Amino acid sequence: MVMVLIVVPLVLAALALAVPSNRWRPWLLPACCLGHLVLVLFSLLNPPPSALNQWLVLDPLGKVFLPFVSLLFCLCASYTAHFLTVGQGRSNRVFCTCFLLSLSMITLVLLSHHLGLMWVGMEATTLALAPNIYFYRTPRSLEATWKYLVICSVGIALALLGSFFLAYSTLHAGLESPLLFDELVQQAPQLSHPWLQAAFVLILVGYGTKMGLAPMHTWLPDAHGEAPAPVSALLSGALLPCAFLAILRVYHICLASGNSETSRRILIGIGLLSMAVASVFMIRQRDLKRLLAYSSVEHMGILAFGIGVGGLAVFGALFHVVNNGLIKVALFLSAGNIQNAFGSKFSDDIRGAIRRLPVTGPLFLAGFLAITGSPPFAPFLSEFTILNAALGDGDYLPAMLFLLFLGMVFIGMGATILPALQGDPSANALQYPFRDGFFSTAPILACMALVLILGCYLPRPLESLLREAAVFLEVKE
């Protein structure tokens, strides 16, 4: 079953490449993603055995990330199918193939329990998503694609060097390891601590580039800003958490080594730096999609901060992965609708979005309130959990900075989003034929409904998965 989760979207990607019809090919996406989600849920209820000699395992962390990512792909797929069949006068063969290929490769990363295989999967996700960033074939999208490829490739190269350091730490200690994460965790106390620490720093910088942590985030605003809305949603909601999981795998080894204080402080520092950089660049930001991209940088910082704090904050950070992904899908898809309705993604050209789009507009407003941590939405609970844990551990200065940057983000985002939603749409905006429809709004509504429900009630199965993952990660030192 583990192999099936990877192979099914891979086979359908090949089928999408072979289907001749531009009209029918996009509908392979929701069919495949729905089938993938069903298989994932079946795997949760009936945990499959490992595959490839323990190289592929559905462990507690995978049980949180995999169903969440599969759900995001399913929601984006229905929007994407409509997006590609209405108003797009170009071939969607490469787009559909790469969409399904990215689902397969992200699944590979989430299931990988081997250090080298995980690296291969991460590199494959970079290559799979690049053609979709260039979908519009504009000079700016070409520039964004090259930035994405070059900067992420440098990050992946550093992660490979870090992987070599981690492998050498086992040899330096006189151990023979197959580089499986379970065995590395068991051997962690015997590993060479200097080599292990150097490996963590390199892997944090390498995969942190893919995750969008500052100051390695420079590809992210361009790629998110120029890609089609569903691609931006997947980049933010699925790809960034995928890189976060890769960092968690190595951090787990550092925790098990009994010498993780430096790693914790690095995570707290880089988390706060990411929040600070994002909050500054959000001020007076007029491009709605770039604004949301900087919001992703902020929330990746929140995740790093939460893991660095440890304890209850680990549960909060894992919960925040789910919350942020759902809202980012809702916000990017909403921004795509607004761009189609006004012919622009710049706030100076957008007024009266709530009147122009009576479904998308209010949902975009709700998404803004949710992503900035306003109750009763779920991010309020996850961010409060992280803050409470930081205060409980006596990290008062980091906690105060955490609150300060959250406040700056609320002000920066509000100054751009609220004027765009209010007022009356211009006569120029009314000339665009785009209107709210079922396929363009249902995924957004579903995401926001889930975020609202999770803010009021955390289902016991999800709570159990999150707690199991947090306990799995927080090794006793």
Compute the average pLDDT of residues 227-238: 94
pLDDT > 50? residue 293:
yes
- pLDDT, one tens digit per residue, over 306-351 is 999 999 999 999 999 999 999 999 999 999 999 999 988 998 889 9
Mean predicted confidence (pLDDT) in 284-313: 94
Region of 212 on the Ramachandran plot (φ > 0 left; ψ -120 to 50 alpha; else beta): left
- Among positive and negative, which fits the CA dihedral 260, 106, 366, 457? negative
- List Cβ neighbours of 269 (8 Å cut-off, separation of 6 or more): 308
- Give the lowest-confidence range in 85-89, 234-238, 312-316, 473-477: 473-477
Task: Give the rounded percent of residues in the chain with a pLDDT score beyond 90.
Answer: 80
pLDDT tens per residue, range 144-182: 999 999 999 999 999 999 999 999 998 887 777 788 999
**pLDDT confidence bin for 260, thresholds 50/70/90:** confident
Q: Taking residues 244-249, report their average pLDDT.
A: 96
User: According to the model, what pLDDT value does residue 445 have?
Assistant: 97
Q: Where are the domains of the chain?
A: 128-473
For 216-230, b/e burial (b = at least 16 CB within 10 A) is bbebbbbbbbbbbbb
